Amino acid sequence: MWGCLVALVGLFFLVRWYRERQVVSQLTDKYVFITGCDSGFGNLLARQLDMRGLRVLAACLTEKGAEQLRRQTSDRVETVILDVTQTESITAAAQWVKEHVGDRGLWGLVNNAGISVPSAPNEWLVKQDFVNMLNVNLLGLIEVTLNLLPLVRKARGRVVNVSSVMGRLSLFGGAYSISKYGVEAFSDALRRELSYFGVKVAIIEPGYFKTKVTSSEIFMRSFGELWDRASSEVKDLYGKKFLETYIKSTKSMEQKCTEDLSLVTDCMEHALTSHHPRTRYSPGWDAKLLYLPLSYMPTCLVDTLVYWLYPRPAQAL
């Protein structure tokens, strides 16, 4: 009985390994559009795909980021300035992509652009804080996708959306987890809708990696600004010690972040180049061994763990 079960599991992983090793042909003729290429995952992916011979259309937020990327890559990489919160910018970038890909269509769309602050207890925030992050992490992703879908469908290509383990498990306040839960929902619906047209959609759910998005310096600056504008009631409820402990835990988290960004970009590359990409990729030891298992555990156990790990407000019961 157990021997048959082990054999079936082994056969499953063997078949999956074989299928996932099959690579799409004529990669050098395929165009991939990537958002958020100034730094981090997007920047590394652009350079990685360039080395594979793909034609990369890299969207950067700043001209400085675009210049640096062009210096690091071949002439197969072309850049465009894109602010995913501005409809005019997205429309112009979509037209630019259309002019480059022509009748071939767009093989790959990688929605990578994102921000992580402000993230803090919800009571420290105002509606605009949520709106600002949703505009980048979710609504911008949706609008870019909708503008480029006709080109992706023409190529029967791929859409790769960058979510997070925080799209499975919400551990702190603010719009970050909200936006990533939204990315998961949008991607799931999109995958089913586009499967009729031969388009595949993959979700990348990284754990904590050391990028500008997870920089403790950015979080500390954000915490300070939020604390300064907080009402006297909120400050009394939480206390200065809570803020100091929160900052300390953020610094500690950054030290534990995985530094090898290629663990994420390898998943993105596989989603773009494999004949049989996975629906979800969860790069990072913390994603696989901690956050994803936690997301399947009973809520009471997860709550207990969070209460134990995170600082307590000064006036907590």
Pairing, β 158-162 against β 55-60: unpaired
- DSSP letters along 78-97, please? EEEE--TT-HHHHHHHHHHH
CA-based Rg of the chain, rounded to a whole angstrom?
A: 21
Which stretches does DSSP call E strand in the chain? 31-34, 55-60, 77-81, 108-111, 158-162, 200-204, 280-281
Tokens of 181: 């839960």
Alpha carbon of residue 301 to chain centroid: 27
Output phi, psi for 116, to 5 deg.
-125, -5
Among 176, 246, 281, 291, the active-site one is 176
104: helix, coil or strand? helix
| CA trace torsion 85, 87, 91, 92 (10° rounding) | -70
- DSSP letters along 148-177, please? HHHHHHHHT-EEEEE--GGGT---SSSSHH
176 noted as active-site residue: yes
Neighbour count for residue 241 (Cβ, 10 Å)? 12
Closest CA to 56 of 128, 109, 123, 114: 109
Catalytic residue numbers read 176
